[in-house]
Structure 1
């Protein structure tokens, strides 16, 4: 982390994303996230009045939200110069242009992992939801690109005698659950899925990352580019350590899903400790064993 506590150069990140969206953007991860979003929302047996997509790079989530809400908007975080935004509006995930209690449903796909203040972003989302409003989001988790992170550190240490941060620090699953609770969400749920993408070599992976606008935007990054000898050593290490029997290389993307509701009196609440009126042992038909007692 930088001395100021700012992990990401947000202006640089938005610039790279804007350039990526103007090119041949690889949407395989976003397509998968969109399908998952559709399945998860289909299990919610209600319609919403106002829904917003917060910063998803491509407009893939919009049709899913329109199927669940009377009005669906899309917040575009990438800085683009156009006056015709249609149902889109420009905004910043760290400074959301949303009034308190203005939404019933908020969704975000593969965008929130790039903010400096994730707790603050979640708090803003929670405040923007009306009572019993739903937030559901997907972001990259801690196991993402662990192979690339490892080989780049090893290769740079070998070839230069030092290391520079090159892969973003992604949040841990347990930490994200705590952040939802701290932000004031009710009924928080966190789960993850590991997606393994295979490449012929490390260069194909790097091309995809660049084409998605995910090049290094860490504030503590070394400003000089990756040296050729470091890159070639990293390629060799990747092939040695993370290749399958057919020679193709594995790249891990951990897709973490977060969901939580704005508190409402109609929601289920946990019972107070000691308020149970029946014993589990009676329900199971077994003798109850007290604390400190030995079975049998």
Structure 2
């Protein structure tokens, strides 16, 4: 098998994340609240539940399904003590019979996404549930456009600055490729507004979300370059009140580890009635 190409510098990701500012993280808080809403109607008992994400302090300790409380075992993929941290590129979890695994905001920092999803499925018991949240493909399109224009103007070319993210059109195929049954994906789009582009830049640094790309431009970003990108951002994506817009997409994926009890599609030719039998005279029209 060919090795996946390196998109992310994992050491850089860890270094960036180690510098994040302590305090509330509105994206993680929003995703955790949405997770609780998604688990609440599920009529299952989850007694062996795992949740993984970039850092333990951003992960909820418990939730609830329609059948009762869920207590999470927690593991980090970027920041944590050695006994609480796992490598998503070579995933080895404590057990292989989880009935629920939740991945919050990991997928968009993994080089081998199909491999990561496959390894999660291998750690689920039959008919176990995976729920994952990732940053969606149109997130920060405004920032990407502004820096692209500034790069062309100042450098005479473009430099990779914003990480590629998973498109909703590809998400279901990724789950199927990893061996999940009954895959479901959906997308939530939010518009976040800032007082200026520099406020957005500051928040990305505070969240430890600066450029983690393997093929990033190693040259330091000059103040002139940064200010020009901010000017272009404000010109193209500013609102009449002087604030600027930033797109945030949260992509949700869910799938079940295969099990004989799950519904299966009918075999071709196995139907007991024809469409003509059901529609009657309407089939002639």
TM over 0.5: yes
Q: Any stretches of 5+ residues in structure 2 without a counterpart?
A: none
Where does residue 53 of structure 2 map in the other structure?
A: 55
Cα distance in 1, alignment partners of residues 77 and 203 from structure 2: 20
Cα distance in 2, alignment partners of residues 230 and 285 from structure 1: 70
- Give runs of aligned pairs for residues 1-296 of structure 1, distance below 5 A: 5-20=5-20, 23-57=21-55, 58-64=57-63, 71-81=71-81, 89-98=84-93, 101-279=96-274, 283=278, 287-288=282-283
* Cα-Cα RMSD: 2.4
Give 1:247 shift. Answer: 2.0
Q: State whether residues 51 and 65 of structure 1, in contact with CA within 8 Å, keep that contact through their aligned partners in structure 2.
A: no
Deviates more, 1:171-180 or 1:185-194: 171-180
Deviations 1:149-201 (A, max 9, x none): 01101111101112110000111112121110010000000110111110111
- 1:287 partner SS: helix
Compared CA separation, residues 7 and 68, structure 1 to 2 (3 A): farther
Deviations 1:187-231 (A, max 9, x none): 000110111110111111111111111100111111122222222
Cα distance in 2, alignment partners of residues 111 and 96 from structure 1: 12
Give 1:97 shift. Answer: 2.1
Give 1:280 shift. Answer: 5.2
For these two proteins, the number of residue pairs brought into alignment is 281
Compared CA separation, residues 166 and 68, structure 1 to 2 (3 A): farther
- 2:48 partner SS: strand
Give 1:40 shift. Answer: 0.9
Give 1:65 shift. Answer: 6.3
Q: TM-score, normalised by structure 1?
A: 0.87
- 2:245 partner SS: strand
Q: Deviation above 6 Å: which 4+ runs of structure 1? A: none
Cα distance in 1, alignment partners of residues 268 and 114 from structure 2: 29
Q: Any stretches of 5+ residues in structure 1 without a counterpart?
A: 290-295
Cα distance in 1, alignment partners of residues 280 and 246 from structure 2: 50
- 2:158 partner SS: coil
Give 1:68 shift. Answer: 5.6
Deviations 1:16-75 (A, max 9, x none): 21221xx23441111111111111111210111211111243344322269966652101
Cα distance in 1, alignment partners of residues 58 and 226 from structure 2: 34
Deviates more, 1:92-101 or 1:39-48: 92-101
